[in-house]
């Protein structure tokens, strides 16, 4: 049994973690993802990643638990996951021709040593000026209603972009692997050696 646990039900996060070649288990935590009053997008991403990891601590008492979550914002105003086609359409209309910030939190909880470390990665995406037809075409081909921002960067969503400003491209997909590798090394796990 692996000592690494991914606290997520996301197939995209599982695929990203598989890139490191380390065995892991995955389990979807049950937490309240609603923002707290006055909570900034940065603090929300940080808190949700931490709470996801902590939600599995009792179940996995001798493990390294990875929690991650992503939030989107424009001008520091929080944008939730669309949840419906109509809201996805509205978000894409709102994004058209603008810069959208994606904050992706990652937490590593070492339940063996009772240590916790969190990192939040900022990725800025410049969305092209989109026509109504392009928005409808995207929604028909890829209704990403459960993703922050209403699109899949790892799929057709890149056709919506003018550019990306990031230090870690994997963060936009949902799990910042560069930061995670650093957190794992600090916990004694090196993907290059283990």
Q: Is 69 considered catalytic here? A: yes
Asked whether the beta carbons of 108 and 92 are under 8 A apart, the reply is: no
What's the confidence (pLDDT) of residue 77?
86
- Which of the residues in the chain have pLDDT under 50? 1
The gap from C-alpha 156 to its chain's centroid, in whole angstroms, comes to: 18
Asked whether the beta carbons of 66 and 106 are under 8 A apart, the reply is: yes
What angle (nearest 5°) sits at the alpha carbon of residue 106, between those of residues 188 and 119? 85
What angle (nearest 5°) sits at the alpha carbon of residue 165, between those of residues 164 and 167? 120
What's the confidence (pLDDT) of residue 76?
85
pLDDT in tens, 152-182: 877 888 899 999 999 999 999 999 999 999 9
Asked whether the beta carbons of 142 and 123 are under 8 A apart, the reply is: no
CATH number of 4-186, picked from 3.40.50.800, 3.90.950.10, 3.40.50.300, 3.40.50.880: 3.90.950.10
Residue reference for tokens 């006055």: 38
Catalytic residue, from 69, 110, 121, 168: name it.
69
**How many CA atoms lie less than 13 Å away from 126 in the CB half-sphere?**
5
What's the confidence (pLDDT) of residue 17?
97
What's the confidence (pLDDT) of residue 144?
81
- Classified as helix, coil or strand, 108 is strand
This prediction has a pTM of 0.91
Asked whether the beta carbons of 58 and 27 are under 8 A apart, the reply is: no
What's the confidence (pLDDT) of residue 37?
92
What's the confidence (pLDDT) of residue 148?
75
Enumerate helices (H) and strands (E) in the chain, giving the number of each.
6, 7
List Cβ neighbours of 86 (8 Å cut-off, separation of 6 or more): none
Residue reference for tokens 């904050």: 103
Rounded CA separation 1/121 (Å): 30
């Amino acid at each position: 049994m692996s000592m690494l646990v991914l606290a997520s039900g996301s197939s995209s996060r599982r695929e990203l973690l598989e890139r490191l070649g380390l065995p892991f288990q995955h389990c979807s935590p049950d937490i309240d993802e609603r923002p707290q009053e006055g909570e900034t997008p940065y603090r929300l991403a940080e808190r949700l990643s931490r709470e996801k990891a902590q939600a599995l601590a009792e179940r996995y008492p001798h493990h390294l638990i990875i929690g991650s979550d992503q939030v989107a914002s424009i001008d520091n105003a929080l944008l939730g996951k669309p949840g419906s086609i109509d809201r996805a359409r509205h978000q894409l209309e709102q994004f058209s021709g603008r810069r959208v910030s994606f904050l992706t939190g990652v937490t590593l909880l070492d339940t063996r040593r009772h240590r916790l470390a969190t990192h939040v990665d900022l990725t800025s995406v410049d969305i092209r000026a989109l026509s109504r037809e392009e928005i409808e075409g995207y929604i028909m081909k890829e209704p990403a209603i459960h993703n922050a921002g209403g699109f899949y960067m790892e799929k057709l969503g890149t056709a919506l972009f003018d550019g990306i400003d990031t230090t870690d491209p994997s963060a936009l997909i949902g799990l910042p692997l560069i930061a995670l590798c650093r957190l794992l090394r600090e916990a004694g796990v090196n993907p290059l050696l283990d």
